[in-house]
Structure 1
Amino acid sequence: MLYGKALRDEIASAGTTPLIGVYDMYSASLAAAHYDGLFVSGFGFAASYYGLPDIGFIAWPDMVAFAERLRGAFPRHHLLVDIDDGYVDAELACHVVRRLERSGISGVVLEDQKRPRRCGHTEGKQVLPLEEYLAKLNQVLESRTDLLVVARTDATDDEEIMHRASALAATDADVVLVDGVRSVEAIRRIRGVIGNKPLLFNQIAGGKSPRLSLSELAALGVDVAIYSTPCLFAAHRAMEEAMAELKATDGRLPSVDGSSRAGAGAAVGAGEVTAMLTENLRRHSTR
C-alpha cells in the first residue's frame, strides 16, 4: 500500500482532514475507533515517554520504534509523525525519513526551528536561516519516494511568516504548516500566499491559535488539521481527578460498574485476542 498517496488523496478531497494526536498505544486505540487519521506529536511523546517537556529531548530511534508499533497495530489508518527538525542534521533527517517510509508511515512534519527547540505554541522560538532549512528540506524530499512531507515554519514575525510560507510552498513539499498562528485573519493571509499548496493547521488546547471547527477551517481553505493533545490532556485531567479521589477516600476504590473494565479490554482487542488464543488451543488439543 502507498500510504503517502493515500493521505495525499484524503487531503485533496473536500473538507478538512482531521488527524488526532496520540501519545501511546492505548490512546491510539481509542482515537482510532473514532477517526481514520492519527498524529504523533512531539509534545505528547516527550511527555509520555520521557516525562519531559517538548524542547528537544526526543531521540530518533525512540520515535521511529513507536511509529513502527503504531503502523503494525493500525495498518489502515493515516499516520503522520512529527520529526521536529529532523534531529539536527540533514543526513540524519533523511535516514529517519527512509526508515519511516519503509515502515509504512504516511507522512512526516519537518520544522525550521533552531536548537534549543520549543513547542510550537510557546515563546522563545528561533528559526534557522531560510536557505539552511530549505537545503535540509530539499534533501529530505529527494530521499523519499512516496512519503508525504509537511514543511513547517515556526517564524513569529508576521512579515517573516509570509515570506517563509511562500518559500515553503514553492518547494516539492506536499503541505505547508505555519505553527502558532494567532488569528483567523492570519490563516487567510497564509492561505493567500501559498497558492494551491495544501495548508495544515495545528490545534492545541490552550495554545496560541484560535479554536475552530472543521467546517470553519474548511471555509478558510485549510486542507488538514492536526489535533496535537486531546488524548493527553483528557488523560491528565482524568488521572488527576482519580488520584485526588483515591487519596481523599483513604485509598478506597470508587464504586463503578463493569463497563469501565470491559471498555478498556475492548480498546485493546481483548475479545479478539482471547478468541484467537482459544481457537489455537482447540486446534492443538484436537491434533
Structure 2
Amino acid sequence: MRYGNALREEIRSPGTTPLIGIYDMYSASVAAQHFDGFFVSGFGFAASHYGLPDMGFIAWPDMVAFLERLRLAFPAQHLLVDIDDGYVDPEVACHVVQRLEKAGASGVVMEDQKRPRRCGHADGKLLLPLEEYLEKLHLVLESRQDLVVVARTDATEEADIVRRAEALAATEADVVLVDGVRSTEWIRRIRAVTGDKPLLFNQIAGGKSPRLSLSELTDLGYQVAIYSTPCLFAAHAAIDAALTELKAADGRLPEFVAGSVGVRASTELLEKNISRHHPRDPELVSV
C-alpha cells in the first residue's frame, strides 16, 4: 500500500482534507469513528508520552514506535507525522523519514525552527537560516519514495513569512505550511505568493490563528487542515470533570446510564484494532 500516494490523491481532490490530531492509541481509536485521517501531533505526543511541553523533548525512536502501532491498528487511515525539525541533524532527518515511510506513514511535516524549539503557536520561536533549512529539506525529499512531505515555516516577521513561503513553494515539497498565521488577510497573502502549491492550515485551540471551517478554508484555497489538539484538550477537560465529580461524591461512581462509556463500549471499540480483523491483502485496504 502506497500510503503517500493515497494521501497525495486526497489532497488533490476537491475541498479541504481534515486530519485530526491524536495523542495515543485510545484517542486514535475514538477519532477513527469520525475521520479518515490522523495528524500525529508533536504537542500531543510530547504531552502523552513524556508528560512534557512541546519544546523538543521527543526522541525519534519513540515516534517511529508509535507510528508502527498506529499503522497496525489503523491500516486505512491517512497518517501525517510531525517530526519537528527532523530531530536536528540532516542525516537523522533522512533516516527518520525512511523509517517512518517503511512503517506506514503517509507523510511528514518538517519545520525550519532551531533548538530550543517551541509550539508553532507560542512566542519566542527561533529559525534556522533559510538556506540551511532548504538544504535539509532537499535531502529529505531525495530520501523519500512516495511519502508526502510538508515543508513548514514558523516565520513571524511579515517580510520573512513571504520570503520563506515563496522559497518553500519553489521546492519539490508536496505541501507548504506557514504556522501561526494570525489573520485571514495573511492567509490570502500566503496563497497569493505560493502559486498553485497545496497549502496546509494548522488550527489549535487557544492558538494564534483564526477559527475557520473547512468550507471557509476551501474558499481561501487551502487543501489540508490539521487539528492538533482537539482530542488532547477534550480528554483534559473530561478527566478533570469526572475526577472532580468522583471526589465530590466521596468516591462513589456516578450511576451508569445507557449511552455512557463503560467496560463494554470501551472493549468493543478497542477490539476493532486487533490486526486479524483487518484485510490481509494491503491492496484491499481502502484509504
8-17 or 257-266, which deviates more: 257-266
Instruction: Give the aligned length.
Output: 274
Q: Which residue identity lines up with residue 145 of structure 2 in the other structure?
A: T
* 1:267 lines up with 2:269 in the alignment: yes
Structure 2 SS opposite 1:18: strand
In 2, the alpha carbon distance for the partners of 1:2 and 1:141 equals: 16
Could you tell me how far 1:258 is from its partner in structure 2?
A: 5.2
Could you tell me how far 1:156 is from its partner in structure 2?
A: 0.5
| TM-score w.r.t. length of structure 2 | 0.93
| TM-score w.r.t. length of structure 1 | 0.93
1:99 corresponds to: 99
In 1, the alpha carbon distance for the partners of 2:91 and 2:258 equals: 52
RMSD (Å), alpha carbons: 1.3
- CA offsets 1:234-266 (integer angstroms, 9 cap, x no match): 000000001111111111111122541133222
- CA offsets 1:17-64 (integer angstroms, 9 cap, x no match): 000000000100111111110000000000001000000000000001
- CA offsets 1:55-79 (integer angstroms, 9 cap, x no match): 0000000001001110111111100
2:108 corresponds to: 108
- CA offsets 1:201-230 (integer angstroms, 9 cap, x no match): 001011000000000000000100000000
Structure 2 SS opposite 1:93: helix
2:211 corresponds to: 211
**Structure 2: gaps (5+ residues):** 278-287
1:9 corresponds to: 9
Matches within 5 A, 1:51-70: 51-70=51-70
Q: Is the 2:166–2:193 contact (alpha carbons within 8 Å) kept by the matching residues of 1?
A: yes
Matches within 5 A, 1:13-32: 13-32=13-32
Matches within 5 A, 1:227-238: 227-238=227-238
**Structure 1: gaps (5+ residues):** 277-287
Structure 1 SS opposite 2:117: coil
Identity of aligned residues (%): 72
In 2, the alpha carbon distance for the partners of 1:51 and 1:243 equals: 19
In 2, the alpha carbon distance for the partners of 1:198 and 1:68 equals: 27
15-24 or 257-266, which deviates more: 257-266
Relative contact order, CA 8 A, sep 6+: which one is greater?
2
In 2, the alpha carbon distance for the partners of 1:263 and 1:150 equals: 37
- CA offsets 1:122-167 (integer angstroms, 9 cap, x no match): 0000100000000000000000011000000001001100110000
In 2, the alpha carbon distance for the partners of 1:77 and 1:203 equals: 20
2:201 corresponds to: 201
In 1, the alpha carbon distance for the partners of 2:44 and 2:38 equals: 13
Structure 2 SS opposite 1:205: coil
Q: Is the 1:94–1:140 contact (alpha carbons within 8 Å) kept by the matching residues of 2?
A: yes
2:123 corresponds to: 123
2:280 corresponds to: none
Q: Is the 1:162–1:190 contact (alpha carbons within 8 Å) kept by the matching residues of 2?
A: yes
In 2, the alpha carbon distance for the partners of 1:133 and 1:97 equals: 16
In 1, the alpha carbon distance for the partners of 2:258 and 2:10 equals: 38
